[in-house]
Amino acid sequence: MHRFYKQLSYFITIKMEIVHTIKDLQAALSVLRAQKKEVGLVPTMGALHAGHASLVKRCVAENDVAVVSVFVNPTQFNDKNDLVKYPRTLEADCRLLEECGAAFVFAPSVEEMYPEPDTRQFSYAPLDTVMEGAFRPGHFNGVCQIVSKLFDAVQPDRAYFGEKDFQQLAIIREMVRQMKYPLQIVGCPIVREEDGLALSSRNARLSAGERKNALKISQTLFESRTFAAAHTVAEIQKFVEDVIAAEPGLRLEYFELVDGNTLQKIANLEDTSYAVGCITVFCGEARLIDNIKYKE
């Protein structure tokens, strides 16, 4: 079907359904599968913004049926305070998802996804031992637990993830490869505010002053890309560290220049054809992540 009519047909004939159990979701999807419909999945933790909307719109455009999960996954929070404070905005999320053309919102309870503790251990070293993996012990194990449960429940043909969580995307690709899930992972570009700040559900926690400070993160990454044309990896590293350190209100957790496939630090830009700078910065209480490609 032509993409325009496919999208249009959602608005005309398909009313978005909100389901809360795996059983109901699978019952609805099995009817569509029998009609040979292709299913796309966008896993989210809600508090949706334009970045999520871009994933959902792409999912709608590339599949017959778009399923969006909204679930704040407790097992990926190493900081329980962060879990408690995580914004929960299901009503507003559903309005946005309907506008984007999603067919199903899957919004399960914690008991539905974890009727018993999930003791599975996912280990994709060295991808999950560096950067976020080093600073947030257990985080990627929790991400893999929930994403694998969602893949099992939905059995999508394609699943969509944002490149802002660059390391997460690499680990999920590896999980899919090792567990031989018959689906395609689609990585989608970072969506930024007009001034460059990467969209994140955590931006909602920034005060006006913090929002101004946070802008320095993306600005520094963009400047570092220009700087990279005539400098070494060590010099780029120092440049980013110095600029962030000089900014009141920001605290650098890490900046690493890595190979985009292995996520291991590189010594020279010439050593790889895919170089990415990944950064995590505290801005007030909010822990913000971003990344930039130097070479692809």
Residues identified as active-site: 52
Residues 153-182 that bind ligand PAF (CB under 6 A): 165, 168
Closer residue to ligand PAF (CB): 147 or 276: 147
In angstroms, the CA 174 to CA 167 distance is: 11
- Interacting span for ligand PAF (CB under 6 A) from 41-49, 97-105, 111-119, 250-258: 41-49
Residues paired with residue 19 on neighbouring β-strands, in sequence order: 106
Contact, 281 vs 288, CB < 8 A?
yes
Closest Cα to residue 129, out of 256, 281, 270, 275?
A: 256
Q: Copy the structure tokens of residue 221.
A: 């990454």
Which residue of 16, 25, 40, 44 would you call a contact of ligand PAF, by CB under 6 A?
Answer: 44
Angstrom distances, CA of residue 223 to CA of 226, 232, 272, 294: 5, 14, 21, 11
Closer residue to ligand PAF (CB): 168 or 272: 168
Closest Cα to residue 282, out of 143, 48, 79?
A: 79
Site string for ligand PAF, 123-152 (x = CB under 6 A): --------------------x--xx-----
Residues 70-89 that bind ligand PAF (CB under 6 A): 73, 76
Position 256 contacts ligand PAF (CB under 6 A): no
Closer residue to ligand PAF (CB): 74 or 284: 74
Position 51 contacts ligand PAF (CB under 6 A): no
As measured in angstroms, the least distance from the Cβ of 45 to ligand PAF is 4
Peptide bond into 126 cis (omega under 30): yes
**Residues found near ligand PAF in the complex (CB under 6 A):** 43-45, 73, 76, 143, 146-147, 165, 168
